[in-house]
Amino acid sequence: MPLFGLEELSLSYGLNHYSIDGPLRSIASALSLDDSALESLGRYVGREVLEVSYRVDIASSPLLFNWSIRGERTDFSWLDPMEKVVLERLLLEYGVDKEPLVRGAWAGHYASIYLIADPGISCILTLNMQTAYALYKYSNTVLRDYWKRLVGARRPLAFGATWFTEVQGGSDLGANQTIAESLGSGLWSLTGYKYFASAAGIADVALVTARPRGSRPGAKGLSLFSVPRVFDGKLNYRVTRLKWKSGTRAVPTGEVELLGSRAYMLGEQDKGIYYVMEDLMVSRIANSAGAVGIARKAYLEAFLYSLIRRAFGKKLIDHELVKRDLLLMEADIEASLALSMKAATLFESSWQDRPPYTSKYHYARLVTHIAKNITAETSSRVTAAAMELLGGLGFLQEFPIERWHREAMITPIWEGTSNIQALDMLEAMRKKRAHLELLRDAERAASEGYDKGFASKLLGHLVEEVKKLGSMSPELVEFYSKDSLRTIGSILATIELERLASIADERFHDVAMAYYEYFVKGRLPDRPREEVLWDIISLRGLLAEYGNRI
Domain 160-269 has CATH 1.10.1740.10: no
Residue 546 scores a pLDDT above 80: no
Confidence of residue 4 (pLDDT cuts 50, 70, 90): low
pLDDT tens across 27-65, in order?
999 999 999 999 999 999 999 999 999 999 999 999 999
Residue 550 scores a pLDDT above 80: no
Q: How far apart are CA 549 and CA 303, in angstroms?
A: 13
In the chain, where are the structural domains located? 8-61+89-150, 160-269, 274-544
Q: Which residues contact 249 (CB under 8 A, 6 or more apart)?
A: 56, 57, 61, 62, 120
Q: How many C-beta atoms surround the C-beta of residue 118 within 10 A?
A: 31
Residue 268 scores a pLDDT above 90: yes
According to the model, what pLDDT value does residue 549 have? 54
Task: Find how far residue 127's CA is from the centre of its chain.
Answer: 11
Please give the share of the chain, as a percent, with pLDDT higher than 90. 94
Residue 1 scores a pLDDT above 50: no
Which runs of consecutive H residues, i.e. helices, occur in 349-473? 359-389, 400-408, 418-430, 434-447, 452-470
Domain 274-544, architecture per CATH: Up-down Bundle (1.20)
Q: How far apart are CA 495 and CA 492, in angstroms?
A: 5
For range 221-240, the mean pLDDT: 97
CA distances from 123 to 159, 284, 436 (A): 11, 11, 33
> If we measure between CA atoms, which residue out of 263, 276, 280 comes closest to residue 179?
263
For range 357-369, the mean pLDDT: 98
pLDDT tens across 441-493, in order?
999 999 999 999 999 999 999 999 999 999 999 899 999 999 999 999 999 99
| DSSP per position, 334-369 | HHHHHHHHHHHHHHHTTTT--SSPPHHHHHHHHHHH
My answer on whether omega of the bond before 356 falls inside 30° of 0, hence cis, is yes
If one compares 170 and 298, the residue with the highest pLDDT of the two is: 298
According to the model, what pLDDT value does residue 363 have? 98
My answer on whether omega of the bond before 156 falls inside 30° of 0, hence cis, is yes
According to the model, what pLDDT value does residue 141 have? 87
pTM: 0.97
331 within 8 A of 515, measured Cβ to Cβ: yes
pLDDT tens across 365-394, in order?
999 999 999 999 999 999 999 999 999 999
Tell me how long the chain is: 550
pLDDT tens across 93-125, in order?
999 999 899 888 999 999 999 999 999 999 999
140-148: Cβ within 8 A, 24+ apart:
141/186, 141/226, 141/264, 142/264, 143/205, 143/226, 143/228, 143/264, 146/205, 147/101
Reduced to 3 states (helix: H, G, I; strand: E, B; else coil), residue 272 is helix
What's the mean pLDDT when you consider all of the chain?
96
Residue 547 scores a pLDDT above 70: no
Give me the torsion for CA of 298, 300, 305, 307, rounded to 10°: 150
pLDDT tens across 164-201, in order?
999 998 889 999 999 999 999 999 999 999 999 999 99
